[in-house]
Structure 1
Amino acid sequence: MIKRIAIVGGGTAGWLAANHLGHALVGSGIEITLIESPTIPTIGVGEGTVPSMRNSLKKFGISETDFINECDVTFKQSIKFVNWLDKSKHGSNFYHHLFDHPHVFGEQLTDAWLGQSSDSDYASFVSKQHACCEHNLAPKTIATPEYAGVNGYAYHFDAKKFAAFLGRHAQKQFAVKHRYAEIEEVITDQDGYITQLIDTDGNATAFDFIIDCSGFSAAFIGQKLGVGYIDKSDYLLTDTAITIQVPTNPEQEIPPYTIATAHQAGWIWDIALTQRRGVGLVYSSKYMTEEQALVKLHRYLGNQFTHLSPRKIPIKVGRREKMWHKNCVAIGLSQGFVEPLEATAILIADFSANLLSKRFPRCRADIALIADDYNRQVNYVWEQTFDFIKMHYCVSDRTDSGFWRENRNKTQISDKLKYNLARWQRFAPQREDFESKFDLFDLENYLYVLFGMKYLPTLNTGHSDNMAHEQLTQLKQQRVNQLLAELPTHRALLAKIKMFGMQKY
């Protein structure tokens, strides 16, 4: 029987796993212990999420008010992509990948947008949220209950504070045990199953199941159990990030979105919290040196913080051949890694931990019944994620550097993505194109990105009657005007939450 679980590695992935498993196994008699190194720091730069995180936090029984106040949280309603198109053709350009569904007011608005000849912005045309983002408004009011929103939203937060917050919750609500220890030796039985962990003090502890959240080292799934790594660096070209945290003016408005600004060899993320911004320049070392990257990062920041030294993080793009082997499951960076363009790291860790918690084995024999399905589903998510990130690059019309030209090379695009792009070049994406319930990125995500990047079908489907879409346009504009008048600014709402809190859902 499986009675003792070890989650090895703290950070966001480890404590997300602890909460998902703690919630699922409460009252089962299974003991969960999270073991974390006292010396190895977490990466701590994953500061953006997608809306599904709200479901997880609510499921755990976490107060959204407490979470916001204790983790320096700001609301995220979109990713604003800046200069991902050729500036010689489009000038300074941007588009929003919003968190509201584009068909809130009906599919007819998409049809109408496709059928027109003007070069209007898709997200602005179909959504109420675009205007709210551009006016730095919050996604809700102080009267809106926790986890509910007038507009769709996710979060930005301080990753280290978030991990600590999740840790306190898991220990208090789900009786998860916590130890600081360095694991020095891993003991397996004759069948290759991990049975004991021995720390540097010589303490040997028996466990029945291991969750490997050891980060890039993949100490258990990779080093001990020998599960291979599938390198994707020839598919996604960025391989380095340099990150920096800079203070912000407390009087300045807070953008309710992540900013992703493209440059000649990658892009720059910009995430605003209540008192600081987390900024990171992602680049391909094949097309940019570290010195050039540092100059570009400081230039982006107006050369105001040249006294601060950015942190360099290597990006090893790829994934494990499988995430579950014997009695060990990898979650987080031990699974794989891809640049944080769409907040994928926390998204996949949360998905993987939730999926494991839904059908956790109770004995060794159960593993043979569920591990293969788990591997197939999580591997599918990773491959779909690689394609979705690649799509941002290969549909761009930028040709100003070798980086952008190589990304458009059709020989370096997966067969599935190549097929979909060919289809979407003729026909607009539709719901039936996304058959799997494990598609973390669905129709709405592809519509915002493809149409934001001006990747339009030649067979436009703009056939809705003028009266219908004019009525919908008027309805949308009325709602926009109403929200512009009623919603508080982003910073104003955060200040009210700090003072008064939100009502329970």
Structure 2
Amino acid sequence: MKKRINDVVIVGGGTAGWLSAALLAKKLNILAPDSVNITLVESPDIPIMGVGEGTWPTIRTTLQEIGIDEVEFITFCEASFKQGAEFVNWSNTPTNGQSSSYFHPLNAVFHASYDFNLAPYWLAGELGEMPYDQLAASQSRVSQLGLAPKLITTPQYQAIQNYSYHLNANKFAELLTKHCVEKLGVKHISANVTQVNLSVDGNISSVLTDIAGDIKGDLFIDCSGSKALLLGETLGVKWKGISDIIFNDTALAFQVPYQSDTSPIASNTIATAHDAGWTWDIGLQTRRGVGYVYSSQHTNDVEAEQVLRNYAGKMAEDIDVRKINLNLGYREKFWHKNCVAIGMSAAFIEPLEASAIFLIEAGVNMIADQFPRDFAAMPYVEKKFNNTFSLRWQKSVDFIKLHYCISNRRDTQYWVDNCDPKSIPDSLQEKLAHWQYHPPSKHDFDNAFEPFVLDSYLFVLYGMGFKTNLADNLSAFPHVAQAKMKKQQIDKLTEQLISQLPSNRDLIDKIKQYGMAKL
């Protein structure tokens, strides 16, 4: 006899829990009489981390799919438009007050490097001396001018320049909670889990709570954060730390008000490198989220707080900082028995490229797409899920490490250690050795589930000043005229966009006043 999977229990709220509930509810159509039931159990005593305020463009697809109005989202979550990230002083320390920077945009206009790679022609000097990010993407220039990615007449979720959001994570969880319960049919239980019960076959049978009693389920989603109450504490799936690769294990954060209601809102995250880590600077509608991620092996909390306050300036003088301990790494398995970990229960890598919410979305989408309606189907789905997310997290570690290990900074021990080959994964070292003589190409990225694509690597490598010697390989890149034509197209489009697009704040203010057209 088949043993059906009818009841899904999600333990933990926050972004991970409620995004999981929303996507599963919509994709599995739980309002249909023959579908599954979804219950989310959330502790009333444990606050969500509420720091991760950056997203990827995939969030627009998610919000559309679960049925949230973009105007409501922007207004309620104090959201602003994000078009990428600016990296300041990652390749050089400030000299005479001048900082170095490069930009990682969310898209390269007119072409993807997978189809036609401009990098070798730029390296060969055929396209002038413009920085690579400005050459390859209009978005780099548009965003750094503080311009928005669309017009007020652009319909909801549609884009002129690809975009994601900066958002208030607590407000986002609140919006998702209301939407899931009122419109998607998710049952919400506010209670503390006091015990996890196992059946004789080792699967989780139920969770016991202090208020709501015993909650039975067939499939459990662990969104309990770094505690990993189900997958880690109960099922014993071990944690694989990466502190020998990524050194940052602590963060200090606070919320900094703008000087005035008309202060510009940055259209990108600003990540500034320091002696023992980096600061993030994320502009929302009424304040900035600012924090310092650092290595406790290379500095102390007092020095770190001074770095953060020096960066934030006078507007943050009387604001208390919040300390967050970061346990970097990932589980040896993400799906075990009838339990899947999503969010920090599964893995956590420092927020340098804001990949956390994307990987939540990716995990839940795969659960929904491969959803096993009976226990007999679960082992195969478990195997596929574990293989896919082992690759995704390993590739994420490589990409984050890339930002550090190719730096030419050697001004502190932190940077010396980060560039030590002993701290660089073999998989990344192999690529870097090849890229010294051949620019990255589509053949370096042959898996559909890689989270960071060719263009992302090109922007970081050549923004950081990575050297690729093409002296013996120029004949392999004969399409100089086509490359120059693409550059001209990008330059022309950039001029048009700069003349037409409003500022980030102006667009947000107009959206809140007038709304946006729906498709």
- 2: distance between equivalents of 1:202 and 1:454? 57
Deviations 1:84-109 (A, max 9, x none): 01237895100000011266388364
* Residue 215 (str. 1) matches residue 229 (str. 2): no
Equivalent position of 1:476 in the other structure = 490
* Residue 494 (str. 1) matches residue 508 (str. 2): yes
Unaligned runs of 5+ in 1: none
Deviations 1:393-422 (A, max 9, x none): 001110001111111111221111110111
Equivalent position of 1:7 in the other structure = 10
Question: Match of 2:315, SS?
Answer: coil
Question: Match of 2:353, SS?
Answer: coil
Taking a change above 3 Å as real, the CA distance of residues 359 and 81 of structure 1, as seen in their structure-2 partners, is same
Taking a change above 3 Å as real, the CA distance of residues 366 and 115 of structure 1, as seen in their structure-2 partners, is same
Q: Please, what is the CA RMSD of the aligned residues?
A: 1.8
Q: Is the 8 A contact 2:437 2:468 kept in 1?
A: yes
- 2: distance between equivalents of 1:109 and 1:221? 45
- 2: distance between equivalents of 1:326 and 1:470? 55
* Residue 353 (str. 1) matches residue 360 (str. 2): no
Taking a change above 3 Å as real, the CA distance of residues 233 and 327 of structure 1, as seen in their structure-2 partners, is same
- 1: distance between equivalents of 2:168 and 2:185? 25
Equivalent position of 2:101 in the other structure = 94
Equivalent position of 1:72 in the other structure = 78
Q: Is the 8 A contact 2:39 2:187 kept in 1?
A: yes
Query: Structure 1 stretch 57-66 or stretch 407-416: which is displaced more?
Result: 57-66
- State the shift of 1:425 in Å: 1.4
Equivalent position of 1:63 in the other structure = 69
- The equivalences for 1:159-178 within 5 A come to 159-178=169-188
* Residue 20 (str. 1) matches residue 23 (str. 2): yes
Q: Is the 8 A contact 1:103 1:126 kept in 2?
A: no
Query: Structure 1 stretch 454-463 or stretch 401-410: which is displaced more?
Result: 454-463
Taking a change above 3 Å as real, the CA distance of residues 321 and 225 of structure 1, as seen in their structure-2 partners, is same
- The equivalences for 1:219-234 within 5 A come to 219-234=229-244
> Which amino acid counterpart does residue 59 of structure 1 have in structure 2?
E
Unaligned runs of 5+ in 2: none
Percent same amino acid at aligned positions?
A: 40
Equivalent position of 1:387 in the other structure = 398
- The equivalences for 1:173-322 within 5 A come to 173-201=183-211, 203-248=213-258, 249-322=260-333
Query: Structure 1 stretch 67-76 or stretch 127-136: which is displaced more?
Result: 127-136
Taking a change above 3 Å as real, the CA distance of residues 464 and 165 of structure 1, as seen in their structure-2 partners, is farther
- The equivalences for 1:99-138 within 5 A come to 99-101=106-108, 104=111, 107=116, 109-116=118-125, 119-138=129-148
- 2: distance between equivalents of 1:164 and 1:86? 41
- State the shift of 1:349 in Å: 1.1
> Which amino acid counterpart does residue 496 of structure 2 have in structure 1?
Q
- State the shift of 1:174 in Å: 1.9
- 1: distance between equivalents of 2:175 and 2:211? 28
TM-score normalised over the length of structure 1: 0.97
Q: Is the 8 A contact 1:241 1:280 kept in 2?
A: yes
Question: Match of 1:151, SS?
Answer: coil
Q: Is the 8 A contact 2:266 2:504 kept in 1?
A: yes
Query: Structure 1 stretch 146-155 or stretch 465-474: which is displaced more?
Result: 465-474
- 2: distance between equivalents of 1:183 and 1:475? 58
Deviations 1:93-139 (A, max 9, x none): 00000011266388364343111186531011122112211211000
- 2: distance between equivalents of 1:110 and 1:500? 42
- 2: distance between equivalents of 1:270 and 1:464? 42
Taking a change above 3 Å as real, the CA distance of residues 19 and 409 of structure 1, as seen in their structure-2 partners, is same
Question: Match of 2:489, SS?
Answer: helix
Question: Match of 1:87, SS?
Answer: coil
- 2: distance between equivalents of 1:408 and 1:501? 48
- 1: distance between equivalents of 2:220 and 2:99? 50
Query: Structure 1 stretch 460-469 or stretch 375-384: which is displaced more?
Result: 460-469
Equivalent position of 2:168 in the other structure = 158
Q: Is the 8 A contact 2:189 2:212 kept in 1?
A: no
Paired residues, number: 505
- 2: distance between equivalents of 1:193 and 1:42? 27
- 2: distance between equivalents of 1:102 and 1:404? 33
